[in-house]
Amino acid sequence: MSECADQQLLLGGLVDNELDAANVAMVEAHVARCDGCREEVERLHALRNLLRSDGVRNAAPRSLVQRVAASPELSPRAANENMLPRWLAPGLAGAVAASLAMVTLLPPGADSIVDQQIVSSHVRSLQPGHLTDVRTTNQHIVKPWFNGRIDFSPPVPELADQGFPLAGGRLDSIDGRTVAAIVYHRRLHTVNLFVWPTKNGSDRSFVKDGFAVTEWSRNGLRFAAVSDIPPAELRQFETLFVRRSG
């Protein structure tokens, strides 16, 4: 069982699709870096599948189902209010929407080690003291900070007026190469934008491990933005960044 006692209810809600999109992203980010909780999620999935298998699951008589459904004390709404905290109740109504929102848009066979490293680097950066090497909202400090540290010059446009304030930058590593990581915020969320030189590649968006990723190429540079914000907002970030970068 997971040692994170405060995560127990959330892990069960994740497995049962009872969390809203924001909590799904938060819990999956925690599971990605916590071996104990990852094992607990795997155990819950195995138990859930076992209970659904033939010979284990026992269907109740139709008459009993009808009586239970007609009982106001045992209605789904009453059960939710009695068994779940009020802050978790909205997740029930949005469970289907949340699960659909996390459908991967990645083309078949396109998954790669680089995709995993992009997400892993984003999660690692959220640990205390790992997000920025240079912390500032001034683009005229972040952009020249990369000079001499990498052999290319990434654009660093100002997007605060569009809801994506600059937070700083750092050096990171993707696929064995040193890359620029430009950090923006979106409300209380972090957007990591990884940049490295490469031949032009196709634009693509997908969701991996609960995180939205969008990638594009411009002027010999490859850009990969990752965050736990909704995929549509991350694509909005891409559009704004490209426009402001000229």
Nearest 5°: the CA angle 86, 87, 90 is 90
Is 0.85 surpassed by the pTM of this model? no
pLDDT of amino acid 12: 82
Q: Give the domain ranges of the chain.
A: 5-101, 113-245
Q: Mean of the per-residue pLDDT values for the chain?
A: 80
Superfamily of domain 113-245: MucB/RseB, C-terminal domain (3.30.200.100)
Q: Half-sphere exposure of 87 toward its Cβ, with a 13 Å CA cutoff?
A: 4
H helix runs in the chain, sequence order: 8-15, 21-33, 35-52, 62-70, 76-83, 89-93, 95-101, 113-125, 139-145, 231-245
pLDDT tens, position by position, 56-96: 556 667 777 677 777 665 444 444 444 445 544 455 444 43
Q: How far apart are CA 67 and CA 64, in angstroms?
A: 5
pLDDT tens, position by position, 16-69: 877 777 777 778 888 888 878 887 887 787 777 666 655 555 666 777 767 777
Label residue 121 by pLDDT band (50, 70, 90): very high
Token output for 60:
């109740």
Phi, psi values for residue 89, rounded to 5° = -60, -40
Task: Using only the alpha carbons of the chain, give its radius of gyration.
Answer: 22
Closest listed residue to residue 172, CA positions, set 128, 207, 111, 131: 131
Q: How far apart are CA 84 and CA 203, in angstroms?
A: 42
